[in-house]
Amino acid sequence: MIRTTLLLATLFALAACDGMPGRPKPASRWKSPSEITDFATLYRQNCLGCHGMDQEVSGSLPMDAKTYLAVLPREVLFDVIAGGIPSTAMPGFSTKSGGTLTEAQIKILADGILAKKPSAPDATLPPYAAEPGDPARGATAFAAACASCHGEGGTGGKAGSVVHPAYLDLVSSQYLRTIVIAGRPDLGCPDFANRIPGRRMTNEEISDVVAWLTSNRKNEFGQPLVPVKSSLP
């Protein structure tokens, strides 16, 4: 009994000793999540599972897609990381949105992502956001720019369907526009400049294809959804 007590006391004394081998030094102890300020670690821990980078393929658009970075406004990137995108799998990361990242960390993420932006700005790029165009014209543009891979009517060919209601339910209209502009370089979906031999898709074609894609959305009874007219001029 006495021996056990002595042994325990010795162990406690040793455990409390900083010189004990294996005891972490203060500097190398686990940082609390809010102390992480390294872009690569923040990206790996919070984003990489869904957005690839450096050729790592994952479920959603890679955050180093060149055409994407060229059109993405910094404030959109910051707001999306902080607040997420409602009704999609993109979570908000700010503490205000129920996430764990501080404003400083969100800034590090946004700056780190944009550090890979191509340095020469291209004034002829389509705008990141725009009102959807005309769905009927969009069907024609889709046939010219997309059907060779996604099949006539978008129901699938060499590449998968882009009109399945389950898919269209999962993504926002802006995300569809983003993909129409930037493609999915990691998966072999070309960007807007490389789909039609010899020319880029025009801004009008881009907005029209987005309108056509979203016109394939259906409600829970399988009925087509009537597009809501925007109140914007």
Distance CA 101, CA 109 (A): 10
Residues 62, 67, 93, 191: which binds ligand HEC (CB under 6 A)? 93
Residues 70, 114, 134, 175: which binds ligand HEC (CB under 6 A)? 175
Q: Which stretch binds ligand HEC (CB under 6 A): 4-12, 117-125, 176-184, 225-233?
A: 176-184
Distance CA 193, CA 202 (A): 9
Handedness of CA 44, 109, 129, 183 (dihedral sign): negative
Of the pair 22, 138, the CB lying nearest ligand HEC is at 138
Geometric angle at alpha carbon 203, from 57 and 196, rounded to 5°: 60
Q: Is 136 exposed, middle or buried (0-12, 13-18, 19+ CB in 10 A)?
A: exposed
The contact mask relative to ligand HEC for 61-80 (x = CB under 6 A, - = no) is: x-x-------------x--x
Closest by CA to 52, choosing from 72, 43, 109, is 43
Using an 8 Å Cβ cutoff, are 102 and 35 in contact? no
Of the pair 29, 199, the CB lying nearest ligand HEC is at 199
Of the pair 156, 224, the CB lying nearest ligand HEC is at 156
Q: Does 162 interact with ligand HEC (rule: CB under 6 A)?
A: yes
Of the pair 28, 65, the CB lying nearest ligand HEC is at 65
Of the pair 23, 73, the CB lying nearest ligand HEC is at 73
Of the pair 88, 155, the CB lying nearest ligand HEC is at 88
C-alpha of 229 from chain center: 27
**Which pair of structure tokens corresponds to residue 99?**
């996430």
Distance CA 87, CA 90 (A): 8
95-154 positions binding ligand HEC, by CB under 6 A? 109, 145-146, 148-150
Binding region for ligand HEC (CB under 6 A): 46-47, 49-51, 60-61, 63, 77, 80-81, 85, 88-91, 93, 109, 145-146, 148-150, 159-160, 162, 171-172, 174-176, 178-180, 184, 187-190, 195, 209
